[in-house]
Amino acid sequence: MPRTASDVVFVDGVRTPFGRAGEKGMYAQTRADDLVIKCITELLRRNPQLPKDKVEEVAIAATTQIGDQGLTLGRTAALLSGLPNTVPGYSVDRMCAGAMTAVTNVASAIGFGAYDIAIAAGVEHMGRHPMGEGVDPNPRIIAEKIVDPEALSMGNTAENLHDRFPQLTKERSDAYAVGSQDKLQSAYAEGRIQPDLVPVATRHADKGYGLATVDEPPRPGTTVADLAALKTPFRAHGRVTAGNSAGLNDGATACIIASEEAARELGLPVKMRLVTFAFVGVEPEVMGIGPVPAAEKALAKAGLSIEDIGLFELNEAFAVQVLAFLDHFGIADDDPRVNRYGGAIATGHPLASSGIRLMTQLARQFEEDPSVQYGMTAMCIGIGMGGAVIWENPHFSGDNNEKDA
């Protein structure tokens, strides 16, 4: 039988406030699955026109799939979120790009016509489950020189990027990091972050009950001088510090992905339209360069150029990794199209959850700026990969002079 591809849209997205990992963090004694369940239930609450039995799949990403992030989380979280037991679910692992992959997986199935509406999500509780917990890398990875041992340490791969591109200095990385903190502070002051946050009730044996309503990692008021004084833990006299990198964080995200036809029929919002996406592999030793070939591949598939992209949401695993992307495409470090609300250096990066944060923020910026037709979400991925997704703004006015006015 002939099949017709469906247009795929981003309906809505939410996230928890991101916390600092560790016993002092606000989610220290909160379960990981409860974080993502909170996001799913909030999506359903905000979109009452979506009958629960119309959700046909739940894909949830986690990098460390163990304990309260394991047991086929997509299925168990679906049940605990109040979805009917007829709704299936599964788990995804592509390290930092887990949530991004959950989105592209369900989007592909929707585009193919296998189903019409799905929920994609991501969670990482790095306090309860540190990156690499319980893993056993095959000794051949190192013994057969498939990768350099440094490839298994993301911080070392960032130092390698500094080596490969000497123009990407520590001073540039620190300045970029300060800019990320400043932009997030401004976005909070203007009320641009809060609408997408889901308040989370917390409980701690010693601290008692609490309510998480804002991100915990940001350090407003940070200066370049502050960052210059930080230690370089991955290399003596190195360039990568805690200040120009994303921290260790806890948090969850979720979104509704649908065929445009189904969204329109149910009266669901259409916040973005999927154009195309690409995932690529790169040398694991310079993992951070991954978004460059991923973006090039996605642009080629879409028949677009980098100049057609009016907004970028780039995950800031490390400042140097974002700078490598910007330099490659001839984009200034402080280009206003890039991470308007700040990025992971300020907000935090709970690994597998971050891809949907990028998408949710891009969707809001699309609504704010109808002069932009296309946007991109992109990120580097551990063990040498990159991912990029291109989106179209359904609010596009066709007037590219509107922004200047």
User: Quick one: which H or E segment has residue 265?
Assistant: helix 260-266
CA-angle at 272, arms to 82 and 339, nearest 5°: 105
Take residue 54 and report the two structure tokens written for it: 């119309």
Catalytic residue among 129, 204, 349, 395: 349
User: Quick one: which H or E segment has residue 182?
Assistant: helix 170-189
Catalytic residue among 39, 125, 162, 380: 380
Sign (positive or negative) of CA dihedral 251, 29, 36, 33: positive
Burial of 11 (0-12, 13-18, 19+ CB in 10 A): buried
Q: Tell me which residue of 10, 295, 258 sits closest to 113, measured CA to CA.
A: 258
> Quick check: 262 and 361 in contact, CB under 8 A?
no
Beta bridge partners of 255: 13, 120
DSSP 8-state secondary structure symbol assigned to residue 26: T
DSSP 8-state secondary structure symbol assigned to residue 118: E
- State the Cα–Cα distance between residues 88 and 65, nearest whole angstrom: 18
Specify whether 39 is catalytic. Answer: no
Collapsed DSSP state (helix, strand, coil) of residue 245: strand
Specify whether 255 is catalytic. Answer: no
- State the Cα–Cα distance between residues 120 and 92, nearest whole angstrom: 10
- Amino acid identity, residue 308? D
In 220-286, the DSSP E strands lie at: 249-259, 272-281
Specify whether 380 is catalytic. Answer: yes
Catalytic residue among 39, 96, 162, 255: 96
User: Quick one: which H or E segment has residue 174?
Assistant: helix 170-189
Give the active site residues.
96, 349, 380
